[in-house]
Amino acid sequence: MPSSFVQKVDQAKPHTTELKLAHSPDTDDAFMFYALATKKIRTGGLTFTHVLEDIESLNQKALEGVYDVTAISFHAYAYLADRYALLPSGASFGDGYGPMVVSRGPLGPDGLRGKRVAVPGKLTTAYLVLHLYEPALEPVIVPFDQILERVATGAADAGVVIHEGQLTYAQYGLKKILDLGEWWHQKTQLPLPLGGNAIRRSIDPRTTRSVARLLKGSIRYALEHREEALAYAQQFGRGLDAPTADRFVSMYVNDWTLDYGERGRLAVQVLLDCGFEKGLLPRQLRAEFVEC
């Protein structure tokens, strides 16, 4: 076969772009990315390498622009907006609920003041909202999956629990002191935006729009094929039984996740504005979303 023919065949191969997609190893994220991770939907010329890390590690690596597409906390977005834009799907909102503050015993109305409170990372939204609620406390940075144990053993006076800890804290003999999502709703009448997915601004616009459509398609596929997506996601649930995993996914993968909508985008902006006004964020900024 002439070499010129081989060269033409090679040139005809479709071009593929590989992107590193990072998210947390949790039931809700696994559910959200099920269709992409298991190739249930076509991705055209894009391929994804999935990386699983805890949310604070993802926040820190996003500061360096390590991953092309990454889950981030909305608190962290205030430090990342020059590197990343928010994708229009994939957010976690707590609509009247959210991260919980737990302790071994009841605390009064000002019970967190001056207390050692275990938090899952300084760039998490839980940390930001906790300080909006009570600025005069002593934060102790603890990996999110160790917070319940730290509080139960008395190593911290209280702790902010995220992920499945919001449903399992009672198993450690702990009591809910405060639901930060409930407090936020009472304060603003808005859902609490916890985290979203973002894409590096250096990626070309065409690819960015394709990623946005694929992420939304993956979420829609999971919602429409709930049973199989839950079966896949449960392996990331750190001991959650099927009904509890289903409940947790329902809390954080829903219509808000499929699309922020005007109210969801407003909630993100109000959170950023409140953080800046209280001196907890480095600058005032406008949340920017990719448009499909």
Nearest to 148 by CA among 130, 162, 134, 133: 162
Helix (H, G, I), strand (E, B), or coil: what is residue 18?
A: strand
Burial 54-86 (b: 16+ CB within 10 A, else e): bbbbbbbbbeeebbbbbbbbbbbbbbbbeebbb
- The DSSP secondary-structure symbol of 289 reads B
Helix 226-233 × helix 205-224 angle, to 10°: 100
Question: Cβ contacts of residue 22 below 8 Å, gap of 6+?
Answer: 50, 51, 52, 53, 58, 61, 66, 67, 69, 70, 71
**225 belongs to the catalytic site:** no
* Options 23, 131, 163, 185, the catalytic residue: 163
Kindly write down the DSSP assignment for every residue of 56-81, as one continuous string.
Answer: HHHHHHHTTT--SEEEEEHHHHHHHT
What is the DSSP secondary structure assignment for residue 209, as one 8-state letter?
H
Catalytic residues: 163
